[in-house]
């Protein structure tokens, strides 16, 4: 953890994952012509839309995997900021409240009840937050954190989407699972790379700050001697 008070440079850990999610969106939109549609309620019934394939129907009321990824990018950034850089357990407030806000915004689109939609989303948020807390900033796996966290994160998202299919009694095929996992993999690579880049910039800033204060510390010690 980084000890000390808040500094504006810390905000890059929120900004960079969001930019990464946007770049991932551009890549998936270019290669697949459409974001992965997850849940639709066009006919007032919860209908799951299959993976990232072109759909001719109106798309005014769909929850997409892209939107879910932007939400997770924001969540990861806030957890990293509050828990890791500010060393505060208040991150759990965001972990509980953010899924409630997300569920409320997309509730009409899914056609599910708030409780039915919120609980799986809360579980998703908790698992992703634990991934950030215990794995991403674990120094023992630092060289492999991008690959490991991306694979685990994509698996968690796929299981979350499967739970939505299950709760709405919608068939979930192997091709659906593969499509969601693959798209999540691409998107999360950019999100976690954004956090890695932000972490590198913050660490460089902290090191320069410590070096700049070193002469003052040495002078203070010499005066006391």
Output the six-digit token pair for 160. 């979350």
pLDDT of residue 61: 47
Closest of 45, 62, 144 to residue 106, by C-alpha: 62
Judged on CB neighbours under 10 Å (0-12, 13-18, 19+), 80 is buried
Looking at residue 209, its pLDDT comes to: 78
For 66-122, the pLDDT digits (tens) are 889 999 999 999 999 998 888 888 889 999 999 999 999 988 877 788 999 999 999
Token representation of residue 53: 């394939």
Distance CA 82, CA 142 (A): 20
pLDDT tens digit sequence for 35-79: 445 555 444 444 444 444 433 333 334 578 888 999 999 999 999
What per-residue confidence (pLDDT) applies to 57? 38
| 159: three-class secondary structure by DSSP | helix
DSSP 46: -
Question: Structure tokens of 29?
Answer: 């939109």
Which stretch of 103-107, 114-118, 194-198, 209-213 has the lowest confidence by average pLDDT?
209-213
The mean pLDDT value for 20-32 works out to 82
| Span of 83-92, 123-132, 182-191 with lowest mean pLDDT | 83-92
pLDDT of residue 79: 93
Whole-number Å distance between alpha carbons of 92 and 147: 25
Whole-model pTM over 0.85: no
Q: What is the pLDDT of residues 158-186, one digit of tens each?
A: 999 999 989 888 888 899 899 999 999 99
Segment holding 146, helix H or strand E? helix 145-167
Nearest residue to 105 (alpha-carbon basis) of 61, 50, 170, 65: 61
> Which has more confidence, 186 or 33?
186
Angle between helices 145-167 and 174-224 (to 10 degrees): 140
160 exposed, middle or buried (CB, 10 Å; 0-12, 13-18, 19+)?
Answer: buried
């Amino acid at each position: 953890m980084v000890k000390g008070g808040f500094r504006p440079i810390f905000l890059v850990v929120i900004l960079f994952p969001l930019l990464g999610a946007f770049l991932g969106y551009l890549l998936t939109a270019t290669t697949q012509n459409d974001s992965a549609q997850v849940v639709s309620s066009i006919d007032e019934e919860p209908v799951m839309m299959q993976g990232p394939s072109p759909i001719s129907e109106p798309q005014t009321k769909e929850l997409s995997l892209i939107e879910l990824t932007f939400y997770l990018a924001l969540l990861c950034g806030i957890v990293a900021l509050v828990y890791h850089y500010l060393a505060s357990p208040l991150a759990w407030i965001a972990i509980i409240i953010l899924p409630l806000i997300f569920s409320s915004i997309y509730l009409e689109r899914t056609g599910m009840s708030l409780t039915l939609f919120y609980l799986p989303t809360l579980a998703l948020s908790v698992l992703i937050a634990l991934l950030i807390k215990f794995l991403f900033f674990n120094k023992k796996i630092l060289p492999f954190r991008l690959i490991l966290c991306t694979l685990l994160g994509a698996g968690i998202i796929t299981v979350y989407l499967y739970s939505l299919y299950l709760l709405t009694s919608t068939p979930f095929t192997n091709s659906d699972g593969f499509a969601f996992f693959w798209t999540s993999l691409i998107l999360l690579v950019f999100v976690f790379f954004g956090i890695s880049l932000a972490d590198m910039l913050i660490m460089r800033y902290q090191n320069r700050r410590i070096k700049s204060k070193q002469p003052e510390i040495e002078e203070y010690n010499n005066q006391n001697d």
